[in-house]
A and B are shown apart, each in its own frame.
Chain A
Amino acid sequence: MGNIQSISYFLPELMVIATVVVALIADLVYSDRNSYKVGYLVIAGLVVASFTLWLSLPEETTPIFLNTIVVDPFSRIFKFVFLLATFIVVLMSMNSDELKGVRTGEYYTLMAAMVLGMSLMASSVDLIMVYLSIEIVSIISFILAGYLRAQVRSNEAALKYVIYGAFSSGLMLYGLSLLYGLTGTTKLFQLSGSISSLGPGSNLTLTVSTILMLAGFGYKVAIVPFHFWTPDVYEGAPTPVTAYLSVAPKAAGFALLIRFFNTLFGTGQPLNSPVWQAMEGVPWQDILMVLAAVTMTVGNLVAIQQKNIKRLLAYSSIAHAGYILMGVPVLSQEGVYAIVFYIIVYLFMQLGAFSLAIVVSNRYGTEIIEEYSGIGWKSPYLGFFMAVFMFSLTGIPPTAGFIGKMYLFAALINGGSQFYWLAIIGVLNSVISLYYYMRVVKVMYFQGGREKDLYVPGGMSAAIVLAMAIPSIYFGVRWSFLADWVNSSLKFFIAGF
């Protein structure tokens, strides 16, 4: 579709861009004391963008802007995830003590710009666009991670993030250039056609290219050999940013990963056809399976030793990336379905756990798990909901996390016998994760004094926690609404035009 006709399909993103512009101008006007008000503008902009996104109901994959991006139900559901996550994190940031006394106008502006980058990641079908969108998200992540400039830990986080980011994006560029060298095109749809006609001589190059591109994508979603930045960045960054980084860019990375590999190495069937075939010769499924297994194992094993709640959640988010990654190589509609479902559920429980960590740190001034002792008695509100999030993150039955994991394992089992070993590793890992998640609950309830101050966090913080906890439980009991919605959005076609 031509450039001018495409604009009407691009409205939600245009709203986000308008939000960035308005927020930036407002930030120039506001004094330092009032700069937090930019946050309200950003929230308003996000609401407007969500509304326009709600109104746009793409039935099928429509390439716009001369095949640089597409609009389809698949990208739409991810855009909702990004908008929702940003919305929550902006609210969380407003109620975080860490960001008090720091000028936050730029902070909210950059978050709005990040939404644009992630939306493009979820919908780009052109190598240049893929790279550009990843860079937008990365660069803004660096800035946000180092936002607390007076703190050495925050500086360290940003620096490490930048160095790993530059390295992995270099590797990814090399991988992308190999693809271009083989086919002479940057368009994903044309690439998939050209690749299938290349013949076995190209398998080695394609494998190398896959590994290199995985370095870039894997860096964004923090899968294991590319995860080294995660704990330090998550620990050093302001907690709301940590919460944000562990959910939103991760979801964007998976959206890109799914679209990229299914379009490139699937053979021509649309996503909603039941039988898929992988291209012969390039062992990308095996690579992804091994990465998934290693990722969750390493994430969980290291999480056991963590003493800081942010680091614990950082490593556990690596493990969750591993679980989600299990669904990618299955190459079935069921697999993608499970991934999208899991990401939505993960958003609620992860952001919930982080918002609780912020409340605890505001109130009790600690991020150390051992110092959480007795919080379950001191503040039943915090204790109960933290327990809910921990149960949900582990995947224990009446919670949403259980349903998410169930779908993932079901997709693996139905995918065929070559995925059984991965499912077994996944289950074993869930058992390991039970240990460290339950340790938090144990410390809160069974250690320390039992004095009661019946602390209930103030309005907005309590509301955020509640807003995250309700879906975490509700989707564990009645998930058909969510499941239908996810199911209806799984229409992206490999042959787009």
Chain B
Amino acid sequence: MTIGVTINSLPVINSSTSMYRDFGTSFIFVLIGIILVAVPLLLQRILSPRRKTAEKMSTYECGEDVEGPAWVKFNIRFYVIALIFIIFDVEVVFLFPWAVVYKELGLFAFVEMMIFLGILALGLAYVWRKGDLEWVKYSVPYGRGRYRKLTIIEETPASPAPAPQETAA
């Protein structure tokens, strides 16, 4: 199973072949998506009158005064979750071809995939046990009832940026 690559010219293309048709459909979807966004934007640029005033240029024309930049510093938690997500993303990609040949190979393929998944499940157990999956790490002061065991975990005092900003974004 080697798919050669011809460099000098594109391979002979038969437009009725399935792969191009399938991906062609998605390409057309993408194209339509782009057009649907681009054309209205272009139209309004051509048609709309432009008289700028300070009022109009402000972010919220009425109501809130804008304070500070729109860029907020994300919390590291997002990053950890995203990292863990990628690992399992890769794992899922391996599941596709496995599922396709599963019937053909039977028990053999099952055992192989279980070993693969088992080792990665250990990884999941690891991040779980170490608390990397816990999202909210604050607690209710003076907690009562089922909150009574929670203690206050403080954000690092040295951090110059106010920490809870990111949830608002």
Contacts and interface: CB of A to CB of B under 8 A. Distances in A.
Chains A and B directly touch (beta carbon < 8 Å): yes
Interface of A: 21, 24-25, 27-28, 181, 184-185
B122 A24 contact: yes
Contacts, number: 14
A21 B129 contact: no
Given A181-B5, A184-B2, A184-B4, A28 B125 contact: yes
B40 to A, nearest CB: 41
Interface string B1-43: 0101100000000000000000000000000000000000000
Contacts of A25: 122, 125
Given A21-B122, A25-B125, A28-B125, 11 more contacts: A21-B119, A24-B122, A24-B126, A25-B122, A27-B126, A28-B126, A28-B129, A181-B5, A184-B2, A184-B4, A185-B2
Interface string B113-131: 0000001001001100100
Nearest to A3: B108
A185 B3 CA distance: 11
Interface of B: 2, 4-5, 119, 122, 125-126, 129
10 contacts: A21-B119, A21-B122, A25-B122, A28-B125, A28-B126, A28-B129, A181-B5, A184-B2, A184-B4, A185-B2
B91 to A, nearest CB: 15
Nearest to B130: A28
Contacts of A21: 119, 122
A152 B4 CA distance: 48
Nearest to A17: B119
B106 to A, nearest CB: 14
A24 B124 CA distance: 11
Nearest to B112: A3
A333 B2 CA distance: 35
A58 B120 CA distance: 32
A181 B119 CA distance: 33
Nearest to A109: B126
Residue of B4, B5, B126 contacting most chain A CB atoms (<10 Å)? B126
A36 B71 CA distance: 42
A25 B129 CA distance: 10
A196 B36 CA distance: 56
A102 to B, nearest CB: 14
A29 to B, nearest CB: 9
Residue of A21, A27, A28, A181 contacting most chain B CB atoms (<10 Å)? A28
B58 to A, nearest CB: 41
Contacts of A184: 2, 4
Nearest to A181: B5
Contacts of A185: 2
Contacts of B125: 25, 28
Nearest to A186: B2
Nearest to A28: B129
Nearest to A4: B108
A139 to B, nearest CB: 12
B158 to A, nearest CB: 14
A194 B5 CA distance: 17
A178 B4 CA distance: 13
A27 B129 CA distance: 10
Nearest to A185: B2
